[in-house]
Amino acid sequence: MSMLVKGKLGTIALAGAGAVMVVVGTLHLIAPQMMMEAPAIELTTVNHLHLIRAALGGAFIGIAALFLLGLIWERMRAFALLSIVVLFSGFAFGRLVSIAVDGVPASMFLAILAFELIFASLAFFALRATAS
């Protein structure tokens, strides 16, 4: 695989995953109830709002920062790509367990699963290409 392709796979994985996590994290941070409308989860207490803003909003923004650091700081690139593989594979694994145990969710969640698998794969192949 050429160096150009190696670099592009990693850049696509880091930029795409980072951008999506910034958007999703920011929306959970500033509009938690709106983000919970699609899965029909009603946030009724301060504790519910706090949990979504911190565990989804803040965490996703932090994860996005890690991914995006790999774009601008070469020393972080491999670690950021590995982070995409580990985190998105973990999310996808949890979704697949839920599908097996709980049944098939709404199509929105299947689309998110596809996104996680695609970006985990891109990051994996970018890492693999740099190792060879």
Q: Which of 117, 124, 71 is nearest to 93 (CA)?
A: 117
Question: On the CB side of 21, how many CA atoms lie within 13 Å of its CA?
Answer: 26
Residue 19 pLDDT exceeds 80:
yes
Residue 7 confidence class, pLDDT cut points 50, 70, 90: confident
d(CA 70, CA 63): 11
pLDDT tens, position by position, 66-111: 999 999 999 999 999 999 999 999 999 999 999 999 999 999 999 9
> How many Å is the Cα radius of gyration of the chain?
16
